[in-house]
Amino acid sequence: MGRKQDKQRELELFDVQRDHAYDLLDDAFYRFVEDRLHRYAPSAMTGVQKVLEAGCGTGAFGRHFVEALKGQADWNVTGVDLAPAMVEWNRQHPMVGYESRVGDLEDETLFPPATFDVVLCPMVLHHFPSPSKTIENLVSWLKPGGTFYIMEPNGSSPVHKLSKFIRHVIEKVMGLDYAKRFATVNETDHSMKCYVRELTMRGCEISHRETRWIKGAAYGSWIWWARHILYRITSVLPQPYHGNLLLVIARKKNETPCASAMG
């Protein structure tokens, strides 16, 4: 299964983030995500849907779609986050159709099997050095025929690999206490191949996959411009090597693979 997540490091990072709505996306990207879900997961975009937002933070992603899909779908979203401070922010900003709770995604007892119609993973799985156990749980909590959505940093990007190398150098030189303001020791940018493998071996079929460039929260800073230039240079590379973000949409099959096939 690989190295487990250091829970304390995650709590320390997101305790710092608790006083603002932690959202890395702009309206244009939300429209892009909505378009992809309409194209490749149309069943999730109509009727009543019970939705899990994994690693919800302040719930920006799930909250957006509760509001944006009014009139076409009734999304009832449950957000789960390890950090009590993030869940408390949600409770202080109530929204009809959205609720949150503290929970560990590596805990298989968090929800009964086949609870949700849709599972959303917006920028959460890279917080696990190995995403295997988390994905196993998320697929278990998803109903057969349900939609599994992943949006994560592109671990195959040479720019991302360079960024992570620089971060590790900073950790060595300045120490973890300095580096924890920006990231944790858990953060690992997994590849498209990794996510596709983890989903297919657990009984999901891939509906769509792609990589894409988004501006991100540091738009306009010198770090953003440096990375932007590097991303533009590497844009000539084929997928999955260009772009700073990867997107995977999958559907859970009605039959799950046996344990021997997964082993």
What does the pLDDT read at residue 143?
A: 98
Question: Residue 109: which domain range?
Answer: 7-262
CA dist., res. 192 & res. 173, Å (int)? 31
Give the DSSP H or E segment for 102. strand 98-102
Give the CA dihedral 208, 212, 216, 218, nearest 10 degrees. Answer: 150
pLDDT digit string (tens) for 115-165? 999 999 999 999 999 999 999 999 999 999 999 999 999 998 887 777 777
pLDDT digit string (tens) for 42-55? 999 999 999 999 99
Is residue 218 a part of any domain in this protein? yes
* Cβ count within 10 A of residue 45: 18
Work out whether the CA dihedral 228, 231, 235, 240 comes out positive or negative: negative
Count how many domains the chain has.
Answer: 1
Is residue 59 a part of any domain in this protein? yes
Residue 240, amino acid: P
Is residue 202 a part of any domain in this protein? yes
Is residue 12 a part of any domain in this protein? yes
CA dist., res. 148 & res. 251, Å (int)? 6
Give the CA dihedral 166, 167, 170, 172, nearest 10 degrees. Answer: -100
58-63: average pLDDT: 93
Q: What percent of the chain has pLDDT over 90?
A: 56
- Out of 82-86, 157-161, 170-174, the most confident range is 82-86
Is residue 37 a part of any domain in this protein? yes
Is residue 167 a part of any domain in this protein? yes
pTM of the predicted protein model:
0.86
Residue 256 has pLDDT above 60, yes or no: no
What does the pLDDT read at residue 177?
A: 65
* Cβ count within 10 A of residue 111: 18
Helix, strand, coil shares of the chain as percentages rounded to 5? 40, 20, 35
In this structure, what CATH number is given to the domain that contains residue 130?
A: 3.40.50.150
Name 52's bridge partners: 78, 119
Q: Which residue has the higher pLDDT, 189 or 252?
A: 252
Give residues with Cβ within 8 angstroms of 35, minimum separation 6.
none
β-strand pairing of 142-153 with 245-252 = antiparallel
Is residue 180 a part of any domain in this protein? yes
Is residue 2 a part of any domain in this protein? no
